[in-house]
Amino acid sequence: MPEPAISSSRPRVLSGMRPTGKLHLGNYMGALANWVKLQDEYECYFFIADWHALTTDYADTSRLKLNTLDVALDWLAAGLDPERSTIFVQSHVPQHAELSLLLGMMTPLGWLERVPTYKEQQENLSTKDLTTYGFLGYPVLMASDILLYQTQCVPVGQDQQAHVELTREVARRFNSMYKTSVFPEPEALFTPSPKLTGTDGRKMSKSYGNAIGLTESPAAVAEKIYGMSTGGQRIRQSDPGDPDQCPVGDLHKVFSSVELTAETQKGCRAASLRCEFCKIDAARSVCAITDPIHSKRMHLESRIEETWEMLRDQSTRAATRAEQTMQLVRSILNLSHDLGAVKRHFSESAEDLKKAHDLSQVSSWWNLPQDQRAKELRDYWKSNLLPRGVQLTQESNRVFTSLDRELEEPFLSLKKKRVFVTTSRSADEAETWFFEIPAKSYEVWTLLCWNRSDYWLHDFLIPQKYYAQAFAQAKKSLKKDEKIPVLLRKNGGRFLLSIHGSEPVDITELLSNYGPLE
Ligand code: SF4
C-alpha cells in the first residue's frame, strides 16, 4: 500500500465545477482565475463534477459528455496545467461514489435537510422534480469529493460555506465514531468574486442568455459588449451617468486598469465620454484577457483526442491517490478487501497457529500511520492468536479525538485482570522492538512485536512480577503522564526486556504463552 500520509509539502486543495458547457466570464472571475493562481502555492486537485450535474439534470443527459469536454477545454485554455495540478472527471474515479455511499450510512438526514441550498434550489428549479434521494444526498457526495483526497483547503464563494461546514461535521463524526484521524477537517479558502453582471444587467448566467463566453472570439465579445445595457442611463449622451449602476462600468472595474476605470467613471459622470467609446474601451480590456484564452481553446479544439487522453491519465492519477484513502477507510470499517485482515485460523492446530504469526501477507500495514497500524495489529492478534475461551473486553467507552494518535486501550480479561495490549513502534534495527507504556497499573502487558526486517509476529504475555520493580523505579524518574520506554531485544536466541534502562530480564519463556490471561 502506498504511503497515505500527505506527500507534498504544499497544502492540498480541491475544487470542482459542474459541466454545464462552455464557461463564461462570471465562472472565470468567480473561480477559475483564482484556481490558476493557486497552482503555484498548493497541491491542487480540480475535477469536473459530472455526477453532481446528474443530481439536478438527471432527466436529460444528452449533452453531458460534450459539456464535460467543453469545461476541460476551457480550463486548459484558461491556464490550468496538468503538469502542476491533477485535473480529472469525477465519474472516472469510482472511489468518489464508494466513499459517498459509506459516508451516507452515518450522515443524519437532518444535516442534509438543513443545507440552505436544498430548499432554495427546489424552489428556484421548480420545473425539475428535485424530491429525489440523489438531490438530498448531494452534500454527502460533495463531502466525499473533498475527504477522499484528505483535502486541507477548499476554495469556495461565501454561498458554499455551508457545504464545507457539513464536510467538517461529517469528517468529525467519522473520526470520532471509528476512533481514527483519517480525515482532516478542511478549511474554506474564500475566493474573492467581483460583481459581474450580464449584458442585460442581471447576474451573468447562461440560463438568462446574458453571458459573455470566456472563449468567444474577440469579435463576438466586442459585439456583445457593444450591445450591452447601460442600466437605462444616458439615453441622451449629454445626460450624466452613474457607472456604478451600469454593467459596462462593472466590466471596467473588473477588467480595466485602475487609471482607465477612473477616467471612465469621470467621463461618464460628466457626460464627456460617449457610451459607445466607453464600451469599446471595455471590450478592449476584456479581450486582453480572453484573446489568449480564445486562441488556446482554438488550438486545443484541433486536438480533442489529446484532451481526452489527458483526462484519462489524470483521472488515473487521482484514482491512485483516492485509493490510498479508501484502503484506510475500508480497513477502518472492517470491510474485507484486505483478505489478510480477515484471515482467521478456524482450527487451532500447531501448524495453523504458526502460520498466524507470519505477517508477510499483510506487510502493507507497515506503511499505515502508526495508530492505524497498531489497530490492525491488535485486531489481527485478537482474531488470530488469542486462544478461544480467553475473552478480552474493552475497559471503557472512551471517546477518542482526532488528536489521539495512540488508540491503545487496556482490556479486561475474563478474571478481571487489567491487560494492556500494545504494539511495537518503528525500530529499524533487526530483532529489536520499542514500546511506550503508560505509567499505570496493569496486571499483564501484551507486547506484539514486528518490524520491517522480520514480518513475524512475536507475542509476549508478561505478568506483573516480571516488570513491577523496574517499572516502579522508572516511574520515579519520569514526569507525570510521561510514558515508560520499554525495549525488547533478541540476543542469542533469548528475548530480553529492558525497562527505561534497567537490567534486562529474560522473558523467552513468555513467548506465545497465554497462561497469564487465564
Ligand atoms: S459611459 Fe460607460 S459606464 Fe457610463 S453609462 Fe455609458 S456605458 Fe455605462
**286 C-alpha to center of ligand 1: Å?**
15
Ligand 1 neighbourhood includes 417 CB (under 6 angstroms): no
Question: Has residue 219 got a pLDDT over 50?
Answer: yes
The confidence band for 361, taking pLDDT boundaries of 50, 70 and 90, is confident
Summarised one tens digit per residue, pLDDT across range 41-90 is: 999 999 999 999 999 889 899 999 999 999 999 999 999 999 999 999 99
Query: DSSP letter string over 73-84?
Result: HHHHHHT--TTT
pTM strictly above 0.85: no
251 CB within 6 A, ligand 1 = no
Query: How far does the centroid of ligand 1 lie from the alpha carbon of residue 276, in Å?
Result: 8
DSSP for 281-308, written as a single string = HHHHHHHHHHHHHHHHHHHHHTTHHHHH
pLDDT of residue 404: 40
Mean pLDDT over each residue of the chain, to the nearest integer: 86
> Using CA positions, which residue lies closest to atom 4 of ligand 1?
268
The number of the ligand 1 atom at minimal distance from the alpha carbon of 278 is 2
Give me the phi and psi of 458, to 5 degrees please.
-100, 130
**What pLDDT is stored for residue 153 in this prediction?**
94
Question: Which cell is 349 given?
Answer: 492446530
Q: What is the mean pLDDT of residues 91-118?
A: 94
In this predicted structure, the answer to whether residue 346 has a pLDDT above a threshold of 80 is no
Is residue 216 predicted with pLDDT exceeding 60? yes
- Give the position of cell 456604478: 244
Q: Does the pLDDT at position 341 exceed 50?
A: no
158 CA → ligand 1 middle, Å: 29
Mean pLDDT of 94-104: 97
Is residue 53 within 8 Å of 18, Cβ to Cβ?
yes
Q: 398-413 pLDDT, tens per residue?
A: 443 333 434 466 677 7
Q: Could you tell me which residue, 168 or 209, shows the higher pLDDT?
A: 168
- DSSP readout, 58-71? -S--TTHHHHHHHH
pLDDT, tens digit, 9 for 90 and up, residues 408-445: 666 777 677 888 888 888 666 778 899 988 888 888 99
